[in-house]
Amino acid sequence: MIEIAFNIATIRKDFPILNRKVNGHPLIYLDNAATSQTPQQVIDVIVAYYQNYNANIHRGVHALSQEATDAYEAARVKIQEHFNIAKPHEVIFTSGTTHGINLVANGFTSLLRPGDEVLVSAMEHHSNIVPWQMLCERTGAVLRVIPMNEEGELVMEQFHNMLSNTVKLVFCNHVSNALGTVNPIKEIIDASHSAGASVLVDGAQAAPHIKADLQSLDVDFYTVSAHKICGPTGIGMLYGKEEWLKKLPPYQGGGEMIAEVTFEKTTYADLPHKFEAGTPNVCGGIAFGAALDYMNGIGFDQIVAYENELLEYATSELLKIEGLKIYGTAREKTAVISFNIKGIHPYDIGTILDKLGIAVRTGHHCAQPIMDFYQIPGTVRASFSFYNTREEVDKLVAAVRKAKDMLL
């Protein structure tokens, strides 16, 4: 068993929701790939904002506005430092990963021509498929799919063969939300750049498990949602290289993103405000920074080591159940296990687990093409975080056995 530098019992005390019961049973929360839980330290930051300095930012000369502005911009710097981004104005606050992806897709509308090609991987979340389909419909560009294999890994040889001077954009998730696969994004980025293509990486599922160094990766765009990494919902970030952010047109028009407005002409504000129209989620941005502080206080090396142990243990114990199949057996993966039991619909298993106080996700996980590839209706997905325990894994396995006995 891996020795960890943090005390799991102490960490669990940071998460008030873990004390509640569901259907008379202690909550076992294994739906972390959908959203992580929020520690008291972040909750306190949210409460303090609304109690002490709730105000609109950037526009006020009064004390509360200045305090809110300072805290919000300090959070931007925390994000910059966490992801090793060169400049704070390359961090754009968004409502989440989906917003960031659509911002980029909208911006490329004027840059693509009929016959240009856009590549996406076969294991994308719908939010990294649909915006590119819409972009291709607007521009006449062609969407092509990087294939995957039975293990849930991209077929990299075919990806390299797909690259040509007609490929303008490549989109790939860093980690698959449905399978847990960690994709070789550095190889994808370098090969795409060599072919003259730009790259957007969906980092939503990677952020809780991998501290991405965006300068080292040399990626053009990278998107993250705070609620995957112990922060609140409704806030995220888009990283874009300065050269690209200057080239792309604004996504939305309104207050804050302007330099000067007349009825004859409007000029736009400098980065990052050019892409941040309207009143932002001020509290969410500040809490995003607090969540990163919390995660870094524990340490990502420790988190990864602990979660990998949970993944290995849960995988070995679940596979002892006859008829259980795990989808996504990549050599590199995060703490996600998608599985089915032969002859049982995943929804029925998930319903019984809920009755026993265990929260998992069932369905296609907004990754329907993956389910179509495996010719299944969906999976049961148990996704682990650093506040889960081996004892919870044991209870999950026992509950899955009970569900199987009840349903077969």
Question: Which positions are annotated as active-site residues?
Answer: 366
Tell whether the torsion through CA atoms of 328, 233, 103 and 194 is positive or negative. Answer: negative
Q: How many residues does the chain have?
A: 408
Q: What is the SS3 assignment for 39? A: coil
Largest separation between any pair of C-alpha atoms in the chain: 72
∠ CA 381-385-387 to the nearest 5 degrees? 130
**HSE-up of 186 (CA within 13 Å, CB side)?**
6
Interhelix angle 282-298/300-318, nearest 10 degrees: 80
In 174-305, at which residue ranges do the beta strands (DSSP E only) sit?
A: 198-202, 221-225, 236-240, 258-261, 266-268
Residue 65: exposed, middle, or buried by beta-carbon count in 10 A (0-12, 13-18, 19+)?
middle
Place of tokens 């490929």: 167
- In DSSP terms, 300 is beta-bridged to none
Give 179's contacts (C-beta < 8 A, 6+ positions apart).
123, 152, 327, 328, 330, 333, 336, 338, 370
